[in-house]
Amino acid sequence: MVMAEQLIDGRVIEACQQGDRDAFQLLFETYKDKVFSIAVYSSDGDRALADDITQQIFLKLFTAIRQFRGDSEFTTWLYRLVVNACLDERRRRRRLLPWGEMVAMKKAGERKPQEKHYARLEISEAVQAAIAELKPKFRLPILLKYIEGLSYDEIASVMGCSKGTVASRLNRGHSQLAKRLSHLNNPEVWGD
Amino acid sequence: MIRMFLRHVTKDISAYCHGELSSDESKQFAEHLIACGKCRTKFEEVKLGIKLAEQLPRLSAPDRLWSELEPLLEQRTTKAVRPAGFWTWQSKVAAAAVLLLVASLGAFWIYKNRPSNGVQKPSWLVKRVDGVTRIGKEQISNNGRLAIGDWLETDRGSRAQIDVATIGNVDIEENSRVRLLQTRADEHRLELVRGKMSARIWAPPRLFFVDTPSAVAADYGCAYTLEVKDDGGSLLHVTAGWVQMESKDRESMVPAGASCETRPGVGPGTAYFDDASPDFRAALTKVDFEHDPAVRSAALTSVLDQARPRDTLTLWYLFRGSEGKDRERLYDKLATFVPPPPGVTREGLLQSDEKMMSQWAALLEPPWTGSGGEKTSRKLKEMAPK
């Protein structure tokens, strides 16, 4: 994937800005999994919704890329667009979905882990459910760190905040994850 | 330094674990952590959060996404003005070739990393920092994986960072050669045969080991640098916590602020604080590695003459391994700095009475670790001769 990202150079971006579909497909293939992952984790694991969000993001990117002036890294600019789209979608859903249904959706994703012996996949599912319950300001830095592999400086640039704020939000996000999933703090659970 | 020591470091825990602090900040962070129970508790919590977050998988977008997107793009394309001539048919062929190349590289990567006999080989993430880093014969671009048995090499001017599973990370300096020997829940082991590395480990004691040609470094929850010289000897410098250097016949406990030299065929020498005088260190080298008893005895005199209260660290470990007249001389010097507590006798200590050794050690150790005495005391009791 790193090699694929290196293929997205100024020439490809310039071609995309001219509306070239082949160049845009290259861009799409390079970033689709990353964008889709953030969309899934930002939509409480609803993959159908994540499909829509991903599609909307690339549709928007197709026209918005003309506004990219190269003042920042392209990836930073792209992730900013992704983060904003996910936040917009969440706000829209809050307006449309009554509070009770939001809670019900989350409850449906909850498990009673202490009754089970966790396999890695189950740990991963528990983490995904816990991530979905974090506030966006704590969740998004975690996604940008662990899904996209960005540095604190890059996350700060995407989120429009200071590096110190990123550090603080990641710290609080990690703490909340640990508290919610404290029952997983057991070597047997990890199969160690 | 004092400010950092007094200030709690809970806000910096994630940044420390992700290597986002400078080396000075990391050092101060680790030193504070050793001394502060409150921050250690929070550290464990954030560490668990990091371990959990690392389980988040990257998901794959459905294949049909592009075919669904294409008609929508088509609508927009017709509105867009495309300048002629920029994206020529040659460029399209090139783009198609690039896509094919990406797919081929992906297939090759999957082939190369396919599980053998259905079992995925454990590996650690390697990040290239500067210059050229090789795993085996292959040069890595930015990231790579170091599997069990793989060698990692840096050349002049190059550096790399290795994630030690989920328990820490290691910086590999230039002109270094390391190999991953083992990684499993109860043991993570590297071999350093040349060059220098810095380790930061946040795990229970004795989970992370580094084999060198002359000794093994066993981590006790700490940060340290380890350098292997051309003759196979090594130099350990600890910046936080404790490290034990061990060989077949010798072992040496090294706290933060102290160093330890090792020699091939002999093993580790005695730990000494870095602020000890050059003469003290030169004499200690003779005590540790000289074969001639007369030279060793004269060197011990020099060590005793120049020892400061803080050097009871060195004297204590020399005392533990000595016998006869040398043992008596070491006892007498140690006792001038820290007299044994009531009920602990000279005779008992000279005869290595386990209980008395532990009681005296508990009094000796505070100057070695500042306020981090509890952990040290426990360790010293473990180390007392049986």
Last residue of a domain, one of B269, B294, B321: B269
> What span, in angstroms and rounded, lies between the C-alpha atoms of B215 and B229?
13
From its phi and psi, is residue B127 left (phi > 0), alpha (psi between -120 and 50) or beta?
beta
Interface residue B110 vs chain A (CB under 8 A) = no
Tally of structural domains, chain A: 2
Q: Could you tell me the CA-to-CA distances from B15 to A125, A127, B29, B170, B278 in Å, in that order?
A: 26, 21, 10, 16, 37
Task: Determine the pLDDT at residue A45.
Answer: 78
**Domain at A167, CATH number:** 1.10.10.10
Interface residue B186 vs chain A (CB under 8 A) = yes
Interface residue B77 vs chain A (CB under 8 A) = yes
Judge if B200 and B316 occupy the same domain: no
**Domain range for B34:** 2-52
Judge if A26 and A104 occupy the same domain: yes
pTM, full prediction: 0.48
Could you list the beta-strand ranges (E) of chain B: 123-130, 133-135, 138-139, 143-147, 151-154, 159-164, 168-172, 177-184, 187-201, 208-211, 216-219, 223-228, 234-240, 242-246, 251-255, 258-263, 267-268, 272-273
Judge if B242 and B306 occupy the same domain: no
Task: Determine the pLDDT at residue B41.
Answer: 86
- Ordered mean pLDDT values, 10 residues apiece, chain A (192 residues): 60 87 89 90 83 90 86 85 83 54 39 45 82 89 90 91 94 94 76 54
Among B72, B86, B142, the residue with its CB nearest the CB of A18 is B86
Judge if B246 and B357 occupy the same domain: no
Judge if A7 and A94 occupy the same domain: yes
b/e burial code for range B99-123 (CB count within 10 A of at least 16 → b): beebeeeeeeeeeeeeeeeeeeeeb
Evaluate whether residue A191 is within a structural domain: no
Tally of structural domains, chain B: 3
Evaluate whether residue A190 is within a structural domain: no
Task: Determine the pLDDT at residue B346.
Answer: 94
Task: Determine the pLDDT at residue A156.
Answer: 93
Cβ atoms < 10 Å from Cβ of B325: 10
> What span, in angstroms and rounded, lies between the C-alpha atoms of A61 and A78?
8
**Domain at A23, CATH number:** 1.10.1740.10
Last residue of a domain, one of B16, B36, B52: B52
Residue where the block lists tokens 């090792």: B262
Mean pLDDT, all residues of chain A: 79
The most distant pair of C-alpha atoms in chain B lies apart, rounded to whole Å, by: 98
Interface residue A185 vs chain B (CB under 8 A) = yes
**Domain range for A99:** 1-109
Residue of B349, B211, B322 whose CA lies nearest to B267: B211
Judge if B133 and B183 occupy the same domain: yes
In a mutagenesis test of the A interface, which of B22, B59, B72, B139 is the best target, namely the one with the most A β-carbons within 10 Å?
B59
Last residue of a domain, one of A89, A109, A129: A109
Judge if B134 and B169 occupy the same domain: yes
Evaluate whether residue B48 is within a structural domain: yes
Evaluate whether residue A39 is within a structural domain: yes
Residues of chain B with pLDDT under 70: 1-6, 76-99, 101-121, 204, 370-386
DSSP state string for B211-251: E-SS-EEEESS-EEEEEE-TTS-EEEEEEESEEEEE-SS-E
Among B14, B59, B81, the residue with its CB nearest the CB of A171 is B14
Judge if A10 and A86 occupy the same domain: yes
Task: Determine the pLDDT at residue A88.
Answer: 79
Judge if B294 and B358 occupy the same domain: yes
pLDDT in tens, A112-164: 434 444 456 678 888 888 988 898 899 999 999 998 889 999 999 888 899 99
Evaluate whether residue B111 is within a structural domain: no
Evaluate whether residue A170 is within a structural domain: yes
Cβ–Cβ < 8 Å for B329, B300: yes
Question: Do A171 and B58 make contact, defined as CB atoms within 8 angstroms?
Answer: no
